[in-house]
Amino acid sequence: MGRYPRPCFRVLRKNLLAELLAIPFMKAGLQLCNRQGMPDSIIEDMDMNDATTKESKHGRVTHPASRGSYAMDQGLLLEWHVHALEGGKNFPDYEGGPAHDFPSVDYPPANMEGITAPPADGLILSGGQNDARECLNYTDADIEQHIRIKDPAVQSSGWPRLPVKGMKEFTVTWDYAAEHVTRGYRWFITKEGWDESKPVTREAFKGKNYAHDDHFKAEGMDGLMWSDISSLTPFDQHRDKLQPKETTTATLPSDKHGHHVILLAWIIAE
């Protein structure tokens, strides 16, 4: 599967503001985060010192900042939350199943019972997780209210934006808690006119493809912005070459304007 990140863009001439969200897909997806240390506080009865011991951990983006890192800064999430944004393979499909890439050799095996479905609409940016991580799907207005309820003294104007320019390379840096055998990475970007007043759904990504691969076609309308998928197979004979990358880079579209979200999927082979 893969992991998801969420960016947003606002363009003035050639200038954009990008907000990035990353999630791993194993069953999975990934989220950007630039937070290193953990504050001495408690979230939902969970001591921050448990940040490296709770739940499964896979990987997260550490640069640039993402919704995940912002949620950590606001005391809404722990580090392990952001390391564990995994969802089912094959986004944007609704049903789980054999991997689109090399289904006969990559996970899952012949027995399909218990296969995790890709994240549901409204939970895409949290990798399908509906616990504390659900806040990653909030709109600007929702996250402002959520932060204000938690601490009325904190001022928030919604999710942070990243200034970017079309046709420029956009690079993210990863930190892996578990270096899974990696099929590759896919980047999705919201279409023009997507509805910012609601949590992100598949409909928000139904714009033209800027890239294509063996599964996503050039003429498709999946919002695929970039694809970096390895053709090495079977994966268990190429573990040394199918390693996760410390940095991943994509070229930003030249025709996007305003605020957009980028979903970065880390596709796990095993």
How buried is 75 (Cβ within 10 angstroms: 0-12 exposed, 13-18 middle, 19+ buried)? middle
Q: How many domains does the chain have?
A: 1
Higher pLDDT, 258 or 28: 258
Q: How far is CA 13 from CA 6, 134, 165, 259, in A?
A: 22, 34, 9, 13
Lookup: tokens for 62: 């550490």
Q: How does pLDDT run across 111-138, given as a tens digit for each residue?
A: 556 678 999 999 999 999 999 999 999 9
d(CA 86, CA 126): 8
Residue 167 backbone class (left: φ over 0; alpha: ψ -120 to 50; beta: rest): left
Across the range 84-95, mean pLDDT stands at 90
Cα(first)–Cα(last) distance of the chain, in Å? Answer: 9
> Which CATH number goes with the domain that contains 238?
2.70.50.50
Q: How does pLDDT run across 29-88, given as a tens digit for each residue?
A: 222 322 222 222 223 333 333 444 454 568 888 999 899 999 999 999 999 999 899 888
This prediction has a pTM of: 0.80
The range of the structural domain enclosing residue 156 comes to 2-268
